[in-house]
Structures are given as C-alpha cells and as structure tokens.
Amino acid sequence: WRNGMEKLQDPSSEPSPPDLDGYWYMSSLVLALVALFCQLICGWTVLCGMFLAFSFGGCNVLMHLKYYSGSYEQNLMTLLPSFTVVVVALFMVLTAPVHGLGYRSVGLQSRFGAVSMMLSSALLGIAASQASLYVCGVSPKSFSGERARLVASGP
C-alpha cells in the first residue's frame, strides 16, 4: 500500500532467493521439527522458542535481508512469515507458566530471562547463518532494479 492506493504486484519485480543447496532447507526443517518436539512432546517451551528464534529470527532474517535480490525495502517485505513465527513463539514463551517445566528446563526463573535467551538465540542464528552461507560460497544476488520483459524482443 502506498498513498492509500493498492500497489500492483509484478511477479518479475519480487526479490528472488539466493541459490541455496538442499542442506540449508534440510537444516531449517530439522530446526523446526526439533522445536516442535521440544514443545509438544517434552513441554520445554523456552527451548522451543529459542530454536524458533534461532531459525526464523536469526537465519531467515539474515538470508532475506542480505542475500535476496531486491532492494533492502523489498527484501524487508519478504520477512512477514518469519516475523509472524517469531512473534507467535514470543507470545508462547511469555504466556507459559514461569514455574513450569518450560522455564525450569533451561534454568530460568523470569520472563525477562526467557526473552533474553530468545534474543541471544536470534543473534546466534544470524552469526551461524552468515558463517554457513560464507562457507557454502553463497553470494548475495545483485539488484538491478529493472523489470524482466514479458515478451522477448528480436527475430
């Protein structure tokens, strides 16, 4: 939305993700499954929130902002699903009983400590994803600012 008008979306103007190998997607899936296991089977709410903050609040944020092909503003707009998962995880951690198993599993006694652990997990996720993307040789896609032609020109 800009100036009260709906912005028309051209599929060619959407930022494209970097060329990643299957290990990135597999590790993201494993982190999400481990987080679900921690919450649903073991009842470790804060640990689940930490895994989700690491994956969605750290790794995905860095990848979307730095490695996608669009401008910073366009790349920021692709973060809504990751942001939603982090907010849901934060509310899940904040509404869990402080004296329950979800907090005791990581030795915490306060909500401030839980939020601090989630924030540190997100920062660790940024560092870990930057290191792994560097080791894998992934480079940021260039932003040309031009739209792709829909019809090819020439003979």
Tens-digit pLDDT profile for residues 128-140: 999 999 988 888 8
pLDDT at 4 over 60: no
CB 19 within 8 A of CB 138: yes
Between CA 26 and CA 113 the distance in angstroms is 30
pLDDT tier, 9 (very low <50, low <70, confident <90, very high otherwise): low
pLDDT tier, 145 (very low <50, low <70, confident <90, very high otherwise): low
CB 55 within 8 A of CB 28: yes
The angle at the Cα of 153, spanning 149 to 155, to the nearest 5 degrees, equals 155
pLDDT mean over 75-94: 93
Give the residue, 10 or 128, on which the prediction is more confident: 128
Between CA 104 and CA 98 the distance in angstroms is 8
> How many Cα neighbours within 13 Å face the side chain of 70?
19
**pLDDT at site 8:** 47
pLDDT at 107 over 50: yes
**pLDDT at site 149:** 45
Give the residue, 13 or 45, on which the prediction is more confident: 45
pLDDT at 53 over 90: yes
φ/ψ (deg, to 5) at 68: -75, 160
3-state secondary structure of 135: helix
Between CA 119 and CA 154 the distance in angstroms is 53
pLDDT at 33 over 60: yes
- The pTM for the full model equals 0.81
Q: Residue 129: is it exposed, middle or buried by C-beta count within 10 angstroms (0-12/13-18/19+)?
A: buried
